[in-house]
Amino acid sequence: MFLEINNLIDVKQTERLNGWFAGISESSVEGSFLVHHFLSHSLKTSTPVCFVALSQSFGHYNTISQKFGTNLTTQKETNKLVFVEGLKLLGNTCCKDCDKGDNPIDDKSVLTNLLQSISTSYKELKEKNGCSPTIIIDNISVLIVLGFDTRDVITFCHYLHELIHEDIGEKGCLVLYASNGKQNGDGSNENLMELDGP
Amino acid sequence: MTSTSFQKKSKAKILQIPGAKPSLYNNQLLISTGIPSLDSIIGGGVAVGTVFLLEEDAYGNYGRLMLKYFCSEAVMTGHSLHLTSADRDPQQILKELPAPIIDDPGPPPEDATNQSDEHMKIAWRYQHLPKYQSNPTSIKFGHYYDLTKTMDPELTNSIDHSTISEADLCTCSSSSISMNEKYALLLEKIKQKIDDGKFSTTTQHAQHDKRNILRIGIHSLGSPQWGENGGMKGENFDFSLSRFLYGCRALLRSAFAVMMITVQSHLFHPAFVGRLRKLCDTVIQLESFAGSEKNPACKEYHGLLKIHQLPRLNSLLCHMPDTLDLGFKLRRKKFTIEKLHLPPELSETASRPQEDPVYKKSPAGCGSTGKSKIDF
């Protein structure tokens, strides 16, 4: 975890980010280090994490987290971390689509399934640990790049936001990482950035 | 031969696969692209499990050449090769691979056995070591090829290679709504190849079974032959190609395979090209000078090479090459990628435009009437 970032966003090292909806957006510089920062910060403050990886595999995050001092495998075993392998899930839907010609997979149903799995993991973690988890999504822009409708993706984010604000007590935290490419001519990414505004 | 008693404590956890070496920067397994100068620029080689995207030049010649180098390297290292092309017959591409330049060590010295037992007076500690290194490395990382000769078909046939041509793609019967049929079929075939050839990291491998790497080459993906209309379907974007690339990424991350794709990016909408780049790991673009006015400073080179993206695998940073100004040149025998540099100034007259022209001094008279710059 980067101490300088903690100073910049005025968060103490042991503080939990309750009720936070953090949006990380990048345009020309790679911002994935912030995702790792939030992941290690949450794990160090003993907040359970539901990590949805859409752009890289588990091994990549594990190796980098080890450099930060956290072992994701042990965190998984002690139920502090649920790692949703988005790359495999979405990749499999792309592959399966060609096998089953008569059972086409709808875009909306893919997003709904993903939302369901995140929701169940969140509730499980909350029950087992007693405190509200953090949801981190690495690269929600992948959904836009793959062609999911922007409105559907924004609805997806809204549902997640509702999920963390469900209880009156301790609220969870949501961190979304969106990357805006240099030459993104269409406005879909810009709409997503607006969401992170307030 | 052991000259020291030092022994490494840890067991070598890195897999020993011929033709692959671990990266110097991170613990990543790398394979060569076939062009050693390119390997050094992208950090030692292409990482296993990634997608290498090559944005072709306008006429496609250099892109095809680089793909041939990739295939030749597969032959030399014994990796499995899977080549697809819709524009050209992949079997034809396999017949046109450049021949490797193999160092001939020459006949061994005849008096190897009658070494006189000269007692070393100064370097006596090395007395017991053999005079010549007895095991030359046969499978190196990165080979050099001669473009004037083609590879021996026997050598090409010695590795496990398979191709998919346009005819195979037309016989698809699967229909998918989310992706173009041809991409869907190709993805299915790649998945099948990975499973059949046991390249997946999840399959149990016996100790004696040697692991090998699958090299997948796709020539001119996204060209009109694939049913692609520059990323557009009417007025909206067609996301088939991005889904295909994502599907490939998901497959490759858990397989001992590398994919090299050449794409004619000038056919696509620039925003779409940005998306494609994000979905691939290493992205390089070739811009040839053919057909355009040559900048006189770059007349040695045949084009520019631009690096758009390098992968960040298992680390926060990607490899940074020394310079981003790179050009390629195709000589009679080889293709190299070099740092761009201006040719040396050899002529006497300055070639810079802002220099004032030096007038000739008039021959008559000792007083100078001409306007020379060093006139007092």
Which alpha helices (DSSP H) does chain B contain, by range?
Answer: 36-41, 61-77, 90-95, 153-157, 166-170, 181-196, 240-252, 270-279
Q: Is the confidence at residue B372, as pLDDT, over 70?
A: no
Question: Is pLDDT larger for residue A171 or for residue B331?
Answer: B331
Confidence of residue B106 (pLDDT cuts 50, 70, 90): low
What's the CA gap between B255 and B252, in Å, rounded? Answer: 5
Inter-chain residue contact A145 with B279, CB threshold 8 Å: yes
Chain A residue at shortest CA distance from B269: A185
Lowest mean pLDDT among A155-159, B17-21, B292-296: B292-296
Average pLDDT of the segment spanning B212-239: 82
Average pLDDT of the segment spanning B184-206: 81
What's the CA gap between B39 and B41, in Å, rounded? Answer: 5
Within a domain: residue B369? no
- CB contacts, 8 Å: B277 with chain A: 181
- In sign, the C-alpha dihedral spanning A188, A189, A194, A195 is positive
Average pLDDT of the segment spanning A102-113: 72
B315 to chain A, closest Cα gap in Å: 6
Question: Is pLDDT larger for residue B188 or for residue B181?
Answer: B188
Question: Is pLDDT larger for residue A23 or for residue A187?
Answer: A23
Q: Is the confidence at residue B10, as pLDDT, over 80?
A: no
Q: Torsion-angle region of residue B12: left (phi > 0), alpha (psi -120 to 50) or beta?
A: beta
pLDDT digits (tens, 9 = 90+) for B111-157: 544 455 567 788 888 777 777 665 555 557 888 888 888 888 888 88
Which residue's entry shows tokens 């810009």?
A: A190
Question: Is pLDDT larger for residue B284 or for residue B2?
Answer: B284
- In this prediction the pTM is 0.82
Inter-chain residue contact B316 with A36, CB threshold 8 Å: yes
Lowest mean pLDDT among A100-104, B26-30, B185-189, B260-264: A100-104
What's the CA gap between A135 and B172, in Å, rounded? Answer: 41
**Predicted local distance difference test score (pLDDT) of residue B361:** 44
Confidence of residue B302 (pLDDT cuts 50, 70, 90): confident
- Specify the CATH class of A37-192 in words: alpha beta
Q: Across chain A, what does the average pLDDT equal?
A: 78
**Predicted local distance difference test score (pLDDT) of residue B150:** 87
Domain ranges of chain A: 37-192
Within a domain: residue B272? yes
What's the CA gap between A67 and B312, in Å, rounded? Answer: 15
Percent above pLDDT 70 for chain B: 77
Chain A residue at shortest CA distance from B244: A94
In terms of Cα–Cα distance, which of B44, B42, B40, B11 is closest to B29?
B44
Residue of A30, A98, A182 lying closest to B185 (CB–CB): A98
Residue B350: φ, ψ to 5° = -70, 140
**Predicted local distance difference test score (pLDDT) of residue A7:** 75
Average pLDDT of the segment spanning B149-169: 85
Q: Torsion-angle region of residue B60: left (phi > 0), alpha (psi -120 to 50) or beta?
A: left
Give which of B253, B265, B310, B317 to mutate to test A binding, by max A Cβ within 10 Å: B253
Percent above pLDDT 90 for chain B: 14
Residue of B176, B191, B273 lying closest to A101 (CB–CB): B176
Inter-chain residue contact A87 with B176, CB threshold 8 Å: no
Q: Torsion-angle region of residue B367: left (phi > 0), alpha (psi -120 to 50) or beta?
A: beta
Coil/strand/helix, residue A28: coil
Question: For chains A and B, what is the number of CB pairs under 8 angstroms?
Answer: 103
What's the CA gap between A117 and A64, in Å, rounded? Answer: 25
Average pLDDT of the segment spanning B223-248: 82
B183 to chain A, closest Cα gap in Å: 9
Q: Is the confidence at residue A185, as pLDDT, over 50?
A: no
Residue of B173, B253, B271 lying closest to A183 (CB–CB): B271
Q: Which of B15-29, B70-84, B100-114 has the highest mean pLDDT?
A: B70-84
Bridge partners, B1 (sequence order): none
Within a domain: residue B217? yes
In terms of Cα–Cα distance, which of A89, A119, A120, A117 is closest to A105?
A89
Q: Is the confidence at residue A138, as pLDDT, over 60?
A: yes
Confidence of residue B332 (pLDDT cuts 50, 70, 90): confident
**Predicted local distance difference test score (pLDDT) of residue B51:** 94
Within a domain: residue B108? no
Within a domain: residue B4? no
**Predicted local distance difference test score (pLDDT) of residue A194:** 54
Q: Is the confidence at residue B171, as pLDDT, over 80?
A: no
Print the domain residue range for B257. Answer: 20-101+139-339
Coil/strand/helix, residue B89: coil
Residue of A145, A147, A186 lying closest to B278 (CB–CB): A145
pLDDT digits (tens, 9 = 90+) for A12-71: 777 777 777 777 777 667 778 888 888 888 888 888 889 999 988 898 999 889 888 888
Q: The domain that contains B293 carries what CATH number?
A: 3.40.50.300
Cβ(A135)–Cβ(A174) under 8 Å?
yes
Q: Torsion-angle region of residue A145: left (phi > 0), alpha (psi -120 to 50) or beta?
A: alpha
Number of H-type helices and E-type strands within chain A: 9, 5
Q: Is the confidence at residue A169, as pLDDT, over 90?
A: no
Overall domain count for chain B: 1
Question: Is pLDDT larger for residue B346 or for residue A160?
Answer: A160
Q: Is the ipTM above a cut-off of 0.90?
A: no
Confidence of residue B101 (pLDDT cuts 50, 70, 90): confident
- Label the pairing between strands B46-47 and B29-31: antiparallel
